[in-house]
Amino acid sequence: MRLPPIRTLSLLAAFAVAATPLDAPISLAPESKLWVEGTSTVRDWKCQAPVLEAAIAGGERSTHDVLEGERGISAVSLTVPVQKMNCNDNNTMNEHMWKALKASEFPLITFKLGSYELQKDPTGIEATLSGTLTLGGIEKAVVFPAAVSDGGGGKLHVTGHTVVDMKAHDLKPPMLMLGTMRVGKDVTVKFDLLLNP
């Protein structure tokens, strides 16, 4: 199923400290995707994030530099509005998910890249991303792997995933039907992004 186009916001001002004078905004292509998968005592589930706000800064040759194994990206910030997330068009499931994520109090999930390492090999570029994830108003450090490849037309293709413990963010996994259905505390955030130079 094709997701609706992703909005891309240019928030370069947020990177005034980290970015150099030569830095320029990089946008996400509409094909970019981010989703969350989890388990429950009844069945596995999946929720998509059709709205993803991004601010990415890099130089003129930033995407090309990364493909050469160099650090061409200077700053990344991703934001997901919680109440835009959609679990298979199931309104009941959506409401339970929003409640579990404390959407009324903390409407945004954010990830900010702190640093990254690149390792080039014959099959592509392996990256290790380090940053902070803010979920339910609680910020935690995260480190996870990603794969980087040529997306064609100068685009940078970045894929990866990280496992998030809801309880570490003081979030209570949803429980339905008098406790007969319980959602697992660990969820997997997956992304498949195309960065436009």
CATH code where residue 187 lies:
2.40.128.110
Residue 136 covered by a domain: yes
Residue 1 covered by a domain: no
Distance CA 112, CA 6 (A): 18
For residue 61, the model assigns a pLDDT of 63
For residue 180, the model assigns a pLDDT of 65
For residue 187, the model assigns a pLDDT of 95
Q: How many CB atoms lie within 10 A of CB 129?
A: 19
Residue 154 covered by a domain: yes
For residue 155, the model assigns a pLDDT of 87
**Into how many domains does the chain fold?**
1
List Cβ neighbours of 1 (8 Å cut-off, separation of 6 or more): none
Residue 76 CB burial class (10 angstroms; 0-12, 13-18, ≥19): buried
Residue 98 covered by a domain: yes
Of the two residues 197 and 93, the one the predictor is more confident about is: 93
For residue 3, the model assigns a pLDDT of 39
Q: Averaged over 72-77, what is the pLDDT?
A: 88
Residue 5 covered by a domain: no
Residue 14 pLDDT greater than 60, yes or no: no
Residue 7 covered by a domain: no
Least confident of 9-23, 116-130, 132-146, 158-172: 9-23
Percent of the chain with pLDDT over 70: 83
Could you tell me the residue range of the domain that residue 156 belongs to? Answer: 12-196
Residue 6 covered by a domain: no
Q: Hey, is 163 helix, strand or coil? A: strand
- Give 143-156 pLDDT, tens digit per residue: 999 999 989 888 88
DSSP characters for 49-109? ----EEEEEE-TTHHHHHHTTS--EEEEEEEEEGGG-BSTT-HHHHHHHHHHTTTTT--EE
Residue 178 covered by a domain: yes
Of the two residues 184 and 8, the one the predictor is more confident about is: 184
Average per-residue pLDDT for the chain: 83
